[in-house]
A and B are shown apart, each in its own frame.
Chain A
Amino acid sequence: MLADWWQYDFLRYTLFSGILIGLICPVLGTFLIVRRLSMMADGLSHVTLSGVAAGMLVSKKIAFFSAVNPLFFGMLFAVVGSLFIERLRKVYKAYQDLAIPIILSAGLGLFTVLISVADGFNADLYSYLFGKIVTVSIEDLYALIGVAVVVLGTVVLIYKELFAVSFDEEFARVSGVARRSINLWFMVLVALTIAASMRIVGVLLISALITLPVAASLQIAGSFRQTIFFSILFAETSVLSGLYFAYLLDWASGGTIVLMAVLILLVVLGAKKLRVLLR
């Protein structure tokens, strides 16, 4: 069974994609969660979904676009959506979390209309919703590698600015940090990550991989760096074990990965409880 992962191209692509997603999702997730923006991933994933639907529609109707991967439409929509969220957060200063349901509804509304216009899509759409191993192409993998390089590069280069803005935005501003540009760039990265991770985990479950490993990590980490480290560890464990079982049992990969992440969270919570009881 394990040997299959090296023998077949699509499984290798899936494995590499999974490892990259398990790296970038929790890294961005850590910053999102400490800023109380964990729902952001949900909002953006629905916008991405409408982008994918739009991409499928134009590739079906317009010959010129037939060769374009719907994923790129998803990325485009997600980035535009993230810029809208930042804009809305400024308009509704006192109700910043309102931006997310607005953008989520808009994305979902657009998605359903596009489906009805296209007269329904094939099974390919299902894979974008829930993630499916066999659908990962080399093109998807290249897109993900590009996104991962940009995300990790950014976090390494402006780690201290990201930390300062996340911990105390006002203080960062008073320190002269260009917090607007940093916030905007960060949202664009979240959008790109969601779009690029879709094939594996599926749009509907991507926010789980962004939040669950971090939720478990927060319970045991002794510092911010450790929070990031443990969340990567948990995410990678979820992705690798999830992919393995999904392939073995022929389950949906996204769902299996998320269930693994839930399991890890439960184990961490249980172990912590046990330690308190035994003390």
Chain B
Amino acid sequence: MERTTQGTPVVKLTGVSFQYEDKVVLDEVGFTLERGDFVGIVGPNGSGKSTLMKLILGLLSPTKGTVELFGQPLPKFREWNRIGYVAQQVAHGAGGFPATVREVVASGLVGKVGLFRRLTTRHHESVKNAVERVGLSAKLDQRIGSLSGGQLQRVFIARALVAEPELLILDEPTVGVDQESIEQFYGLLRSLKEENGLTMMIVSHDVGVMTQWVNKVACIQKKIHFHGTAHDFEHNQEKILESMYGGSMKLLSHHH
């Protein structure tokens, strides 16, 4: 397990287990995310990587163990605007929704602005900036239905960024995005990390591409099988994947 370096970890899971009825999805998982980390979460389907993410977002509660966000136990945590979330795009089916890029990105401010309050000029300004940050200024007032998969994904990034989070969590963000846009997409994430100092956690089954961009990797299959630098992961990849998959290496040859 990793040692805590300086400051409070952004995310800290201690002895976390989760089960659906009889099926144990996560078993005594310990996991720490330090400020400035760009962590890729790797694991086969049903390995619990999405569950891990939902536990961190408070969408699920652990059966056992504790989740801490920015040093606060999850049940007490209220500062949700410190966390940005980008979900798997196909889960949205949002293309037909009659909203513009501007409207969707502005909805990312809903938690920050607060109930009964209206967006101020400053908020509208930050919406514009977030859209510009992902390179979609030209599409600001277009309906999201007219965008490509890659562009739509960038809209969701902008929606997550607009509230200026410290931690960005992305769930399979490249599903339904073409190969060329994927490179661009990771380039954007890297610059967000370097220029804005964001901490990021990304769940993806596309290990080959992802591990080239992140600086840490965590492998999950009910338990954490590896948690270290991307460099160490590449060098020990075969061994790690073998221990997780029991020899079959389907994961790496998986392409869309």
B-binding residues in A (CB < 8 A): 34, 157-158, 160-161, 163-164, 167-168, 170-178, 218, 221-227
Contacts and interface: CB of A to CB of B under 8 A. Distances in A.
Given A168-B92, A224-B100, A225-B103, A174 B110 contact: no
13 contacts: A34-B97, A34-B98, A160-B113, A163-B110, A167-B97, A167-B104, A167-B107, A168-B87, A168-B94, A174-B58, A218-B98, A222-B100, A224-B97
Contacts of A178: 115
B119 interface: yes
Contacts of A223: 98-100, 102-103, 141, 143
The winner among A160, A221, A227 for most chain B CB atoms within 10 A is: A160
A205 B172 CA distance: 44
User: How large, as a class, is the contact surface on chain B?
Assistant: 35 or more
Contacts of A175: 80-81, 108, 110-112, 163
Judged by DSSP, the binding face of B is mixed
Contact of B110 (A34, A157, A160, A226): A160
Given A157-B116, A170-B87, A177 B98 contact: no
Given A170-B59, A178-B115, A223-B143, 17 more contacts: A160-B119, A164-B107, A168-B92, A168-B107, A173-B59, A175-B110, A175-B112, A177-B110, A177-B111, A218-B98, A222-B100, A222-B142, A223-B99, A223-B100, A224-B98, A225-B103, A226-B98
B185 interface: no
A230 B102 CA distance: 19
A177 B143 CA distance: 24
Nearest to B116: A157
A173 B112 CA distance: 13
Contacts of A167: 94, 97, 99, 104, 107
B57 interface: yes
Judged by DSSP, the binding face of A is helix
Contacts of B141: 222-223
The winner among A176, A218, A222, A223 for most chain B CB atoms within 10 A is: A176
A226 B100 CA distance: 10
A176 B98 contact: no
Contact of B83 (A163, A168, A174): A174
B210 to A, nearest CB: 22
Given A167-B97, A223-B100, A158 B59 contact: no
Interface in B66-93: 78, 80-81, 83, 85, 87, 91-92
B217 interface: no
A172 B92 CA distance: 13
List of 6 A-B pairs having minimum Cβ-Cβ separation, nearest first: A175-B111, A176-B80, A176-B111, A164-B110, A224-B99, A223-B100
A240 to B, nearest CB: 25
B128 interface: no
B106 interface: yes
Contacts of B113: 160
Interface string B20-60: 00000000000000000000000000000000000001110
Nearest to B113: A160
Contacts of B58: 174
Contacts of A224: 97-100, 103
A215 to B, nearest CB: 11
Contact of A171 (B85, B98, B115, B119): B85
A226 B83 CA distance: 31
Given A167-B97, A223-B98, A223-B141, A176 B59 contact: no
Nearest to B58: A174
Nearest to A221: B98
A158 B103 contact: no
Nearest to B119: A160
B119 to A, nearest CB: 7
Contacts of B92: 168
B159 interface: yes
Contact of B103 (A157, A163, A171, A173): A163
A176 B115 CA distance: 10
A176 B116 contact: no
Contact of A161 (B115, B142, B143, B163): B115
